[in-house]
Amino acid sequence: MLKPLRKTVEWHPKPGQSERDLLKKYAGKDGRYCDPDFPCDEASLFGDRDPPEDHIPYANVLWLRPDAYVVGGTPCVFVDEATPGEVVQGKLGDCWFLSALSCVASRRDLLENLFASTEFASKGIYTIRFYKNGKWKHVTIDDRIPCGPTGKPLYGTCRDPRQIWVSLLEKAYAKINGRSYQNLVSGTMTYALKDLTGGDPQVVNLLDPQTADECNNGFL
C-alpha cells in the first residue's frame, strides 16, 4: 500500500516561472536543462531509504539523456501510436503506477494531456501535469534518466526504444511524490489512476456473483 499522504514537496516551476526562465537559470554547458530539484545523485534514486539489495551499486549508475542511450532511431516522446503494450517495467517496484499508465495509454488524448509542455524538448526540459490534492499540478523535469553501465535505463521504458514517454512520466511522478524513485515502490492502481486522469476510480470485484452476472449481461 502507498504510504499516507506525504509531506508537501515544493518544486519548479514556481508560480509565474516559465520553462524559458528555468532554461536561462539552470542550463548546463551544452545549453540543456539540468533540474536543480531532482539532481543526478543517489538521493534522487533512494531518498532516505537504503538501496534495494538487488540494485546495482550507485557508482555504476549513469544519468543519460535519451540521445545518449536510445538506439535504432531518434528519441521522441511519441512515435506513431502509443499503446498499453508499450509500457515496460524496470528494476523498480512501481507496477501499480505503470499498470495505471498502461490503462491511460489506451486513450491517446488522456496520455497527451499529461504533457503540459514539450516546447523546449530539444533543450531537455518537459512539464508534466498530475492531479494532486484536488487540482492539476505541473512539475518540470529534465530528461536525464538513470541507466546501468551498459547505457540501458534502469527503470520504466517503452517497448519501442525510440519512445521516451514512459521514462519521462515515471521520473516526473517520482519527483512529485517525494523526489525519489524509491518513493514509488508499492502503491495502488486506483491512487495512480486518479493522479493520471483526475477521475474517481472505482474498484469492481469480478468474483462477486452479482457483478459477474452484470458483466455477462453487458451491464458492466
C-alpha–C-alpha distance, residues 6 and 121, integer Å: 30
Query: Is 58:154 a contact under the CB 8 Å cutoff?
Result: no
Residue type for position 165: W
Which residue in the block uniquely carries the three cell numbers 509531506? 7
Could you tell me which residues are beta bridge partners of residue 157? 88
3-state helix, strand, coil in the chain (%, to 5): 35, 15, 50
- φ/ψ of residue 10, rounded to 5: -90, 135
Helix (H, G, I), strand (E, B) or coil at 86: helix
Summary count for the chain: helices (H), strands (E)? 8, 7
Catalytic residue chosen out of the listed positions 95, 103, 147, 158: 95
Would you call 95 a catalytic residue per the annotation? yes
Q: Give catalytic residue positions.
A: 95
